[in-house]
């Protein structure tokens, strides 16, 4: 191409560079369209993953709230009211009288001067069972 005598040292260097450049292919530049399509796919994948994660998080929070609102979910809270705690009965003392009196065997009736089976009169004693 260039004569080394005509251009001197610069001509030889230039010839060497042209030989190197002619022997190799240029690297392929990516297309702007291909880059935009790949970027759009990446954005859609990220958006789908984030919205799915947010949906799972919302479902977990709602489930936890519903479970907490159910009666009996708290170990300290009961849905059935319990009787107040009373001390256990002692066996070393005298027995306390019962709170309910025993049923009398005869029903007292007012003693009036009337006798007989007139309306409104009741027998003087109730029958024994």
Model confidence over 4-26: pLDDT tens digits?
Answer: 456 678 888 888 888 888 777 77
C-alpha separations of 71 from 60, 65, 74, 90, 115 in Å = 19, 12, 8, 36, 65
CB 105, CB 128: distance < 8 Å:
yes
7-11, 43-47, 61-65, 114-118: the lowest-pLDDT one: 114-118
Q: What HEC string does 50-109 produce?
A: HHHHHHHHHHHHHHHHHHHHCCCCCCCCCCCCCCCCCCCCCCCCCCCCCCCCCCCCCCCC
56 half-sphere exposure, CB direction, 13 A CA radius: 5
Model confidence over 77-108: pLDDT tens digits?
Answer: 555 666 667 666 666 656 665 665 566 566 66
Contacts of 78 (CB under 8 A, 6+ apart): 72
**Whether the model pTM is above 0.85:** no
Residues in the chain, total? 129
Residue owning tokens 């949906």 = 55
């Amino acid at each position: 191409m260039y004569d080394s005598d005509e251009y001197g040292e610069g001509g030889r260097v230039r010839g060497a560079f042209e030989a190197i450049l002619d022997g190799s292919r240029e690297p392929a530049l990516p297309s702007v369209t291909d880059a935009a399509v790949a970027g759009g796919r990446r954005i859609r994948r990220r958006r789908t993953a984030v919205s799915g994660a947010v949906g799972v998080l919302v479902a977990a929070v709602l489930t936890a709230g519903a479970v907490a609102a159910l009666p009996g979910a708290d170990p300290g809270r009961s849905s059935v009211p319990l009787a107040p705690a009373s001390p256990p009965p002692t066996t070393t003392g005298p027995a306390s009288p019962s709170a309910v009196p025993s049923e009398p065997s005869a029903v007292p009736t007012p003693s009036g001067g009337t006798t007989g089976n007139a309306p409104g009169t009741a027998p003087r004693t109730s029958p024994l069972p």
